[in-house]
Structure 1
Amino acid sequence: MNNIRYVEFDASHSGDFVFDIPKGHDCWLLVLTQTPAIFYVDNDYVEYPPNCAVLYKPNQKIYYQASSDKFINDWIRFDSDETYVTSTPIPFGVPFILRDPSYCHKIYQLLVNEHILDNDYKDISIDNLLRILFNKLLESYNYKYITPFYKDLTNIKMEIYRNPDKEWTIAMMADKLNISAGYLEKIYKNIFGITCMDDVIKSRINLAKKYLMYHHYTIIEIASLCGYRNIEHFYRQFKKITGVTPNAFRKSSSQTMKCSER
């Protein structure tokens, strides 16, 4: 039987968000991230890309924090004695990349509805939804065992988000796997739903937003720190992704932080 204590989707937090529970909860916690985040894994703080899942068992240390200008996630705290939860082969406290994050996100939306509404078959519906969700988690976790290069591609993706300032090229990434650039692009997008160079751009803009919010570097300095050799190119990509210029973003975030301090 399952009992949901709290469940939420699209929970949004500011860039200084930190969730630190040294002794954990007395129940299960399942988190799905929509933005990059830093997790405490194997006695180290590791940055993970968006669209990861992590399952914490009762009384397990929990630590994660934002690694960009905001942190967005779906999460559920629940009690369970179901074997698909208690005996899952998914490692506890170790994030892994979701193959179909939008599907899992929809399940969270349905779980919220079932939790709020007092329907006749509420408990059965929640159990069925959780079973499907855990099946999807297992499909994502086990995918690395059946897909060539999955582990290597995951390592590349994580390295991109840890070091977005590197001079990333498709050829350089393909060389790491000893495959052609065209094949790399195909399998990377097939697994992660985004091209490798779009991931590079996304990670660079996330880093730029952090610098704009929390540091006093000039725009030219920030562009260089984020791996851009051409300031116009940085401006174009930043505005394309955020909808505003770097200067406008800095001004807006500064005003927001001042309001939050009042």
Structure 2
Amino acid sequence: MIRLVSCGCRFTHREGISIERPHGAGNYAFVFFRSKAEVTVNGRSRQAESNSYILFSPDSPHAYRDLERPYVNDWFHCEGEGLEELLRRLGFPTDRLLPASDPSLVPRHILELQNTGREGGPFQEEIAELELRSLLTKLAAAQARDTAPARTLRYAEQLSRLRADLYGSPDARVSVEELASRVNLSKSYFQHLYKETFGCSVVTDMIRGRVEYAKYLLASTALPVGEIGRLCGYDSETHFMRQFKQFAGMTPGAYRKGLH
């Protein structure tokens, strides 16, 4: 389990601050700089701009001090089995200053961590672990987006909204041409950008959304398979069953039978 050791949200140091850890913190220390600071890691110093962050490794010698007052930051310390594996899987860099593309993301999560600690309760540790995993994963995802080609970033918000619509309306009968027109792109360029952004084609996402909705209907209703196919946007029951098996690995009937 990944454990929260301590945390602080919007800590304000009116007289400034100077932290020195020549042997590291002994656990992973995360700092979100709301104010400018000087950060030294393994003997190398850099200026941390406001809305930047760093995750210090447990044994990395490091220090940081204010460059403006009042100095404000958010922080947490964490440790535990599974943390190194998570960071490795996410490709999350340690001991490196990074800009926060969404400055509100970190404070929101750290505030939740702080509230969880204050409220206590029987599932306090589980909630804190989920919050930590969520924050680190979202930051890693943001890092990946920030390194994407400029053309992808330009349309990222529009494509994300369109993708949410696809999954939210799996019964909609819409063509790729219509989807491309929503973002004022040609069909071929739209398909290229969509795959570059999400790692799969828009057609694949359309089918996935329909199959996921079909799974829900198969599990929660007694509707015939043909009717479920119609509600998921299919005119042909045969076509529905073929695509369902392709993505789910079994027929709709077998899927429903396996639930009981």
TM-score by length of 2: 0.53
Match of 1:51 in 2: 51
Match of 1:90 in 2: 92
Using the TM superposition, give the Cα deviation of residue 47 of structure 1 relative to its aligned residue in structure 2, in angstroms: 1.1
1:113 aligns with 2:115: yes
Match of 1:21 in 2: 21
Q: Aligned equivalents of 1:28 and 1:43: distance in 2?
A: 18
The alignment of Structure 1 onto Structure 2 pairs a total of residues equal to 150
Where does structure 1 lack aligned partners over 5 or more consecutive residues? Answer: 150-262
Match of 1:65 in 2: 65
- Cα pair 1:15 1:66 within 8 Å, conserved: no
- Which aligned pairs between 1:152-163 and structure 2 lie closer than 5 A? none
Cα RMSD after superposing both structures: 2.2
Using the TM superposition, give the Cα deviation of residue 139 of structure 1 relative to its aligned residue in structure 2, in angstroms: 2.3
Q: Aligned equivalents of 1:42 and 1:58: distance in 2?
A: 12
Using the TM superposition, give the Cα deviation of residue 15 of structure 1 relative to its aligned residue in structure 2, in angstroms: 5.2
Task: Letter of the 1:108 partner, please give it.
Answer: I
Using the TM superposition, give the Cα deviation of residue 60 of structure 1 relative to its aligned residue in structure 2, in angstroms: 1.2
1:80-137 deviations in Å (ceiling 9; x for gaps) = 2222246542221111001112122111111011122221221221111111100121
Q: Whose radius of gyration is greater, 1 or 2? A: 2
1:31 aligns with 2:31: yes
1:124-173 deviations in Å (ceiling 9; x for gaps) = 21111111100121023223320439xxxxxxxxxxxxxxxxxxxxxxxx
Task: Letter of the 1:99 partner, please give it.
Answer: S
1:62 to 1:41, Cα distance in 2 relative to 1, 3 A: closer
Instruction: Give the match's secondary structure for 2:71.
Output: strand
Match of 2:102 in 1: 100
- Which aligned pairs between 1:246-257 and structure 2 lie closer than 5 A? none
Instruction: Give the match's secondary structure for 1:146.
Output: coil
1:32-72 deviations in Å (ceiling 9; x for gaps) = 11111111146432112111110011121121111112221
Where does structure 2 lack aligned partners over 5 or more consecutive residues? Answer: 152-260
Q: Aligned equivalents of 1:141 and 1:110: distance in 2?
A: 22
1:2 aligns with 2:35: no
1:149-208 deviations in Å (ceiling 9; x for gaps) = 9xxxxxxxxxxxxxxxxxxxxxxxxxxxxxxxxxxxxxxxxxxxxxxxxxxxxxxxxxxx
Task: Letter of the 2:103 partner, please give it.
Answer: P
- Cα pair 2:39 2:47 within 8 Å, conserved: yes
Q: Aligned equivalents of 1:78 and 1:46: distance in 2?
A: 24
Task: Letter of the 2:30 partner, please give it.
Answer: L
- Cα pair 1:33 1:72 within 8 Å, conserved: yes
Task: Letter of the 1:110 partner, please give it.
Answer: E
1:147 to 1:33, Cα distance in 2 relative to 1, 3 A: farther
Instruction: Give the match's secondary structure for 1:131.
Output: helix
Task: Letter of the 1:148 partner, please give it.
Answer: A
Query: Could you list the runs of 4 or more consecutive aligned residues of structure 1 that deviate by over 4 angstroms after TM superposition?
Result: none
Identical residues among aligned pairs (%): 17
TM-score by length of 1: 0.52
Instruction: Give the match's secondary structure for 1:72.
Output: strand
Match of 1:140 in 2: 142
Instruction: Give the match's secondary structure for 1:8.
Output: strand
Q: Aligned equivalents of 1:118 and 1:108: distance in 2?
A: 15
Match of 1:12 in 2: 12
Instruction: Give the match's secondary structure for 2:86.
Output: helix
Q: Aligned equivalents of 2:22 and 2:116: distance in 1?
A: 31
- Which aligned pairs between 1:141-220 and structure 2 lie closer than 5 A? 141-148=143-150
Match of 1:180 in 2: none
1:22 to 1:88, Cα distance in 2 relative to 1, 3 A: farther
Deviates more, 1:121-130 or 1:82-91: 82-91
Using the TM superposition, give the Cα deviation of residue 9 of structure 1 relative to its aligned residue in structure 2, in angstroms: 0.4
